[in-house]
Amino acid sequence: MKKLMMIVYVGCVAALCGCTTNPVAFKASSAPVPVQGYTVTGSDVSAKSDQVWVFGLGGSLSQQQHEAFKTALGKANGADALVGMSIESHGFFFPPFFMMSSISVTGTPVKFNPPPAK
């Protein structure tokens, strides 16, 4: 009977494990675009931030998203913002023990145009 209970327990835990990929957001721009517009400075850049949660304890998903955004913007060589930005969440779950979470950010780097001289 103990063997059967152990098999059922292991089966239930295995059934709860899994991977997910979810779109978090699609944003027109990471910052308000000024009236004078912007110039595209390069091709799409992307970055991700990884985090491990143990027994439900970990960091903040919004902080993880912010880190991924800052890393992607840092790859853009002086860009002011990202346009056409997409944010995705990837995760592997093994309840109740741990979760591995990854947030990826992709967007087109832009430099804001200077205001017209008066």
pLDDT of residue 105: 92
Question: 81-94 and 38-40: which strand pairing?
Answer: unpaired
- Going by C-alpha positions, the residue among 24, 19, 25 that lies closest to residue 91 is 19
Q: pLDDT tens digits for 66-92?
A: 899 889 988 888 888 898 889 998 888
In degrees and rounded to multiples of 5, residue 107 shows phi and psi of -170, 170
- Going by C-alpha positions, the residue among 107, 111, 114 that lies closest to residue 65 is 107
- Going by C-alpha positions, the residue among 17, 10, 27, 15 that lies closest to residue 91 is 17
Where would I find the H helices in the chain?
2-16, 61-74
- Which residues in the chain come in under a pLDDT of 70? 56, 95-96
Question: Residue 58 corresponds to which tokens in the numbers above?
Answer: 């970990």
pLDDT of residue 56: 67
- The whole-model pTM stands at 0.73
End-to-end CA distance of the chain: 86
